Amino acid sequence: MHSLLARQLRQGFGSLDAAPERLRPFLELVDRAYREADEDRRMLERSLDLSSQELLAANAELAALLAGFPDLVLRLDYEGRILDFEGGTEGRMALQSDDLVGRRVSELPLGELAEKVAVATRKVQGGERLVTFEYARAEEAEGRHFEARVAPLCEGEVLVVVRDISERIESQAEIERHLSLLRSTLDSTADGILAVDRAGRIVVFNRRFVQLWRVPPEVLRPRDDRRALEYVAAELQEPQAFLRKVDEIYAHPEAESRDLLRFKDGRVFERYSLPQWLDGRPVGRVWSFRDVTVQKRVEEQLLFAAVHDQLTGLHNRPLFVDRLELAVRRIKRHPERAFAVLFVDLDRFKVVNDSLGHAVGDELLVAVGQRLRTCVRPEDTVARMGGDEFTILLEEIGGAEDAALVAGRIHDCLRQPFSLRGFEVFTTASIGIALSALHYGSPDEVLRDADIAMYQAKARGKARHEVFHAGMHDSAVALLELENDLRRAADLGELRLHYQPIVALGDGRLVGFEALLRWEHPRRGLVYPEHFMTLAEETGLILPVGWWALEEACRRMADWQQRFDPQRRLSISVNLSQRQFAEAGLAAQLGGLLEEIRLPARCLALEITEGAVMKESEAASERLDRLRDLGVRLHVDDFGTGYSSLSYLHRFPIHALKIDHSFVGRIGAGGENLEVVRTITRLAQDLDLEVVAEGIETAAQRALLGELGCQYGQGYHFSEPADARGALIMIAAGRAWPPPSPEAPLPPQLAP
């Protein structure tokens, strides 16, 4: 029985058993109720006991947690008095003191915190659940930054959590510094850069990218790589190939690639693409583009220049030799694939160059090059070897006839005059042909023979072609011999002068002679200038040879004058080649000679061609002035055959024009040249110049020239160039026409 019930029964009935029997069931119910109440109470007590223990434990846990917290947690009343605090393990809060509790925040060295907490507290009082703010403590050397959160606790209290965010701020600033560096690097590079992530989104691009690709902002704005790619592809020469290549690269995220993009407008970009790595994995791709248009153009130009002639755009010598080498090798395996080399050299190119200037000369070369191209098939090689020399390689030809056919075509093609800078320029070419049938071993051999054949064509009158044959070697060798012989000719006394009389057309009076050079060769006999003059000029031998002629002619005339022409009416004309004229010491040397032999300078006429006068006209005019100062006369030889502008006639101290015999020869027949001669004589009269007509062969020509106002003349009609003895007979007779009898015995004092 429950002890309480037992006690109550004892008090009420005296003993336990005294209670009436009928109460028993009731008492049992009460007993159970007591027991249950006991049980309930025990349970309640135990649970109360338990929850307070848990509360303690939880409290302890919370305290420990807060103590280990980097943030400082403060419990404050509305006045800012610290009721409690925890945490702040960072230590940087500078709050070591244990007696914080009870002090006001404003008393502590916490910078702006107190002020801002006060404001936040008021807001919390006003009902805000959370107020956050940042503040800095500038008084610390490094300037630290904090973040504070203020929240209501219970009535009259707030909780403040202060966190040191200096590091976060610092690393944020660091990131921003990096980003700005990256951006300025991106913007300062000459390359256009586009970075794309693996999902095909544009991550970043620089200004240069936009400039280079000329992409409108709306294309880039959606940051969709595909869209940008398609836009730029449309600008390229091969958009499909470009897009295919891009897909291929995207399919291999680890691949690097580089290639060239060619734009429709001619620009060329170099494209470089490499993966963007993060932790060893490709996370995207960086595309960089560089405008290499100029570089490519220069590269292409260099490449072009390596195998082309700069002036004409034709192929150059190295390339020609390469191709010829292939042809030489091929024919050894395939004898049926015959080839020919044509060596083309312009006739009289020097005249054009010297009289019309290098600019016109250059234009002529360009124009000739173009015409040559039209004379051959596209697969044939046309090259310029230098100067006015061109070579043509004809491949797969039938034989000599084919090569000759092309040569004929070239002659035809050059026959049309070239119109250059207002001048009508005529040119012809001498062509040498070498055929593969001669079993050549090297390109040099082919070129050598074509060259020899070309010389042969020149020697046979120019404006023609010759096919090389073995016999030509001999004449080439002969030419070499001639050169060696000429070197010694002056020393060996093999040079001679012949004298052609110059007469006054009116009365046939003898006025002088033109001295003309002859070479008495021990084996060849008398050799005329046309056979050795070119050689002499090419080798420079003209300088000693020409000086010999000048000195000899002057001495002879001085001698004749002293003996037979006391009034010194006769004069001597001597031809002066361009190279002699260009010699710096000429005037001085000549002055010395004239003084020594006492020949009045006015009795010497120097015949100079237009080309010589026109060449480097500044220097030419100076040289002419010096010669004029000596007092010698200056005659323009072969007048009318150059391409002179005639303006030099005003500028230079010239005394006479010699009309070339090509004009004189045809004034009689058909009269085609009559106008030319008339114009020249009128011009001469206007300029107060004398006129000498060359190559008068008939009485009719003489008469006509006289009528046209030409004062002087020379030619076979009067006399062929004669040796010194023949000249003396004319001097003695005082006339060249009618010819004095050569048999007439000379008076003894007239012996040459």
Query: Which residue of 363, 451, 466, 637 would you call a contact of ligand C2E, by CB under 6 A?
Result: 637
Sheet containing strand 202-205, edge to edge, reads 202-205, 192-197, 281-291, 268-278, 257-262
Q: Which stretch binds Mg ion (CB under 5 A): 221-229, 338-346, 429-437, 635-643?
A: 635-643
Task: Write down the least CB distance from residue 311 to ligand C2E, Å.
Answer: 30
Task: Write down the least CB distance from residue 580 to ligand C2E, Å.
Answer: 6
Is the Cβ of residue 303 or residue 526 nearer to ligand C2E in the bound state? 526
Residue nearest to Mg ion (CB): 607
Q: Does 661 bind ligand C2E (CB under 6 A)?
A: yes
Q: Does 640 bind ligand C2E (CB under 6 A)?
A: no
Is the Cβ of residue 392 or residue 517 nearer to ligand C2E in the bound state? 517
Transcribe 483-552 into DSSP letters. HHHHHHHTTTT-EEEEEEEEEETTT-BEEEEEEEEEEEETTTEEE-HHHHHHHHHHHTTHHHHHHHHHHH
Q: 496-521 burial, b if ≥16 CB within 10 A, otherwise e?
A: ebbbbbbbebeebebbbbbbbbbbeb
Query: Which residue of 225, 309, 451, 607 would you call a contact of Mg ion, by CB under 5 A?
Result: 607
Q: Does 525 bind ligand C2E (CB under 6 A)?
A: no
Residues 447-486 that bind Mg ion (CB under 5 A): none
Q: Does 80 bind ligand C2E (CB under 6 A)?
A: no
Q: How many CB atoms lie within 10 A of CB 13?
A: 13
Q: Does 546 bind ligand C2E (CB under 6 A)?
A: yes
Q: Does 638 bind Mg ion (CB under 5 A)?
A: yes
Query: Which residue of 530, 618, 686, 743 would you call a contact of ligand C2E, by CB under 6 A?
Result: 530
Query: Which residue of 206, 312, 500, 575 would you call a contact of Mg ion, by CB under 5 A?
Result: 575
Q: Does 71 bind Mg ion (CB under 5 A)?
A: no
Q: Which stretch binds ligand C2E (CB under 6 A): 208-216, 387-395, 525-533, 610-618?
A: 525-533
Query: Which residue of 87, 432, 640, 721 would you call a contact of ligand C2E, by CB under 6 A?
Result: 721
Q: 569-585 burial, b if ≥16 CB within 10 A, otherwise e?
A: ebbbbbbbbbbbbeeee
Nearest CA to 79 out of 114, 129, 108, 112 is that of 114
Q: Which stretch binds Mg ion (CB under 5 A): 345-353, 530-538, 556-564, 602-610?
A: 602-610
DSSP code, position 399: S
Q: Does 729 bind ligand C2E (CB under 6 A)?
A: no
Pairing of strands 428-435, 656-659: unpaired
In sequence order, the 6+-apart residues with CB closer than 8 A to the CB of 399 are: 338, 435, 437
Q: Which stretch binds Mg ion (CB under 5 A): 24-32, 116-124, 128-136, 568-576?
A: 568-576
Is the Cβ of residue 382 or residue 553 nearer to Mg ion in the bound state? 553
Is the Cβ of residue 434 or residue 696 nearer to ligand C2E in the bound state? 696
Are 231 and 256 in contact by the 8 Å Cβ rule? The answer is no
Q: Which stretch binds ligand C2E (CB under 6 A): 33-41, 418-426, 428-436, 711-719?
A: 711-719
Pairing of strands 192-197, 281-291: antiparallel
Q: How far is CA 683 from CA 104, 617, 659, in A?
A: 122, 21, 12
3-state secondary structure of 58: helix
Residues 685-744 that bind Mg ion (CB under 5 A): 694
Query: Which residue of 344, 517, 541, 594 would you call a contact of ligand C2E, by CB under 6 A?
Result: 517
Is the Cβ of residue 279 or residue 530 nearer to ligand C2E in the bound state? 530
Query: Which residue of 1, 169, 476, 533 would you call a contact of ligand C2E, by CB under 6 A?
Result: 533
Query: Which residue of 80, 501, 695, 713 would you call a contact of ligand C2E, by CB under 6 A?
Result: 695
Q: Does 694 bind ligand C2E (CB under 6 A)?
A: yes
Task: Write down the least CB distance from residue 534 to ligand C2E, Å.
Answer: 10
Q: Which stretch binds ligand C2E (CB under 6 A): 143-151, 410-418, 612-620, 712-720?
A: 712-720
Are 515 and 496 in contact by the 8 Å Cβ rule? The answer is no
Q: Does 528 bind ligand C2E (CB under 6 A)?
A: yes
Could you give the CA distance from residue 226 to residue 220 in angstroms, rounded to a whole number? 10
Q: Which stretch binds ligand C2E (CB under 6 A): 53-61, 341-349, 386-394, 690-698?
A: 690-698
Q: Please confirm whether the linkage preceding 739 is cis (ω < 30° from 0).
A: no
Could you give the CA distance from residue 676 to residue 646 in angstroms, rounded to a whole number? 14
Are 453 and 342 in contact by the 8 Å Cβ rule? The answer is no
Strand partners, 284: 197, 276
Q: Angle 586-597/542-564 helices, nearest 10 degrees?
A: 30
Strand partners, 633: 605
**Residues found near Mg ion in the complex (CB under 5 A):** 575, 607, 637-638, 694
**Residues found near ligand C2E in the complex (CB under 6 A):** 500, 515-517, 528-530, 533, 546, 549, 575-577, 607, 637-638, 661, 694-697, 714-716, 721
